Amino acid sequence: MPGQEVTESRLRCVLPFEAVPMEVPLLRRAAAQQLDRWGVLTASDEAELLVTELATNVVKHVGEGALATLILERKGERLRLEVHDMSPVVPTIRAAECGEECGRGLHLLAAMALDWGTVLTAAGKAVWCELALTDGRSCRRVERAVEALEKYKGAGREPGQRGRIGDVLLVESAVELIADLLHWTAARGNDPDDILDRAQMHYEADSEAA
């Protein structure tokens, strides 16, 4: 790897790399070492996996030998990863339809990240994603649940409403959503009690792993 730049005051690390297969594990290791210096543990494994996929995508789709840059940045309770390259071709989630070779990295971004996207730059493009640093998988589940509940039967309800009234509305939406899902389950010949038991098992497994 050519070198790196670390700005401690912003908790920002810039890692230039060459898009060749042998460089990918070195980049992953450098990212892991930087996260360890920052004391970031909850998202380390996920970040390493996404760094590997994003760098591999540059090798596959931009071309071996292309110059690229990984930027790590801690922003409050989120970790932002950005991979910059010199190709203006922006990947889309539809590319995943052609199989593992085309879209594995995008599938992982969509499944693991709190948010992700692409942006054109003066030199090409950047693919970015953000991971939670507080509670790993359970934190993502909570954020996704809040987003779903704010949209569910949302008439008269403002997304992001705070305070006790907002919490009460979310709880009411959760009860209504669970009831509707049980009706949907029964209408398709499944046992609602079995679905509730399975959901409880998933919840307990996630809680124990946290």
Specify the range with the lowest mean pLDDT, choosing from 1-10, 62-71, 147-156, 164-173.
1-10
> Greater confidence, 204 or 61?
61
CA distance 1 to 34: 15
Residues 65-124: tens digit of each pLDDT: 999 999 999 988 889 999 999 999 887 655 434 444 445 567 777 777 888 899 999 999
**What is the set of domains in the chain, with CATH numbers?**
5-134 (3.30.565.10), 138-209 (no CATH)
Q: Does the CA dihedral 51-52-55-61 come out positive or negative?
A: negative
Q: Could you tell me the CA-to-CA distances from 158 to 99, 107, 137, 151, 172 in Å, in that order?
A: 39, 30, 26, 9, 14
The pTM score is 0.59
* Residue whose pair of structure tokens reads 């085309």 in the numeric block: 102
Largest CA distance in the chain: 60
Residue 66: per-residue pLDDT: 93
Distance from first CA to last CA of the chain, Å, rounded? Answer: 35
